[in-house]
Amino acid sequence: MKISHSSHHHELVLKYAICPYYCPGCDQLGFGLSYVCSNDCNFFLHKQCGKPETQIRYPFSDKCVLTFRNGGSGVDSTCDACGKKIKGLHYRCTCTFRKRNLHPNCIGYERTLEPAYGLTMHLQKTAASKCLHCQTKDLSHRVPGWAYVSSCGTYSYHVSCVNEIINTNWKNGFFNGKSDPFLAIKQKFPEDKDRMHHLVVAQKNKKIKKYATAALKIIFNALTHNHLGHVGAAQSFFSR
Ligand SMILES: [Zn+2]
Ligand SMILES: [Zn+2]
Ligand SMILES: [Zn+2]
Ligand SMILES: [Zn+2]
Ligand SMILES: [Zn+2]
């Protein structure tokens, strides 16, 4: 699947990016299936930024319809999903009372993640309980931030918090091909387990900690498009 895009002088082809990247279309981090320069220029665009739909429905309301835009009044507003600034390409709704803005990539989050470890995680408009990473329910007083929440409602992670974990680990070099990303993320787990521990001190429940770890792993796998999700598979996945 090839496309031409005004942002680059070569054709772009839809394939797996060999590393995380910053998408010049929306200025956000990208992973996995993306539009990549067919001439090996190290140029990447999110799938949703390369070939956007003109109009989309807001996932949590039938009444709200968003239109794809390049610049304009939505720039410098906040993304409804991740709470980060809108800098370039984005979706903006036509509602009069409250304007919603979204990064194209944030539209692409799966609604329900493939069940694993006995957990099914669903994308929700707000966290059902305190996010296990940042320990708050809302990202800020203005933006609650979308979250993946387990069916039972006990385990929540903001999408942006898991993105941040991925981003931090990337900067620490875990995507450089030398180390296994899933070993790196495993080293990150104890920290989140500790946070979880503070939340559930009264319970001292091993099972809860196990599920908190599992929830993070499921979301991590979905956001990095690593559906294989097991240690060792990651390297070959990212170099495909
Ligand atoms: Zn993008
Ligand atoms: Zn190129
Ligand atoms: Zn709207
Ligand atoms: Zn966003
Ligand atoms: Zn959070």
Q: What distance in angstroms lies between residue 157's CA and the mean position of ligand 4's atoms?
A: 15
Where exactly are the structural domains of the chain?
2-48, 55-107, 121-238
pLDDT tens digits for range 175-208 = 555 444 444 445 555 555 555 555 544 445 677 7
pLDDT tens digits for range 88-111 = 999 999 898 889 999 999 998 999
Instruction: Of 208, 198, 187, give the one whose Cα is nearest residue 135.
Output: 198
Does an H or E element contain 237, and which?
A: helix 233-238
Q: What distance in angstroms lies between residue 50's CA and the mean position of ligand 1's atoms?
A: 8
Contacts of residue 155, defined as CB under 8 A and 6 or more positions apart, other chains included, come to 119, 121, 129, 132, 149, 211, 212, 215
pLDDT tens digits for range 148-178 = 999 999 999 999 998 887 777 666 655 555 4
> pLDDT averaged over the chain?
81
pLDDT band at 32 (very low <50, low <70, confident <90, very high): confident
CATH class of the domain defined by 2-48: alpha beta
Cβ–Cβ < 8 Å for 104, 122: no
Q: What distance in angstroms lies between residue 99's CA and the mean position of ligand 3's atoms?
A: 6
Provide the CA 156 distance to its chain's centre, in angstroms.
14
Angle at 237 between CA 161 and CA 6, to 5 degrees: 75
Cβ–Cβ < 8 Å for 158, 145: yes
Cβ–Cβ < 8 Å for 121, 112: yes
| Ligand showing the shortest atom-to-Cα distance for residue 159 | 5
Q: What distance in angstroms lies between residue 139's CA and the mean position of ligand 5's atoms?
A: 6
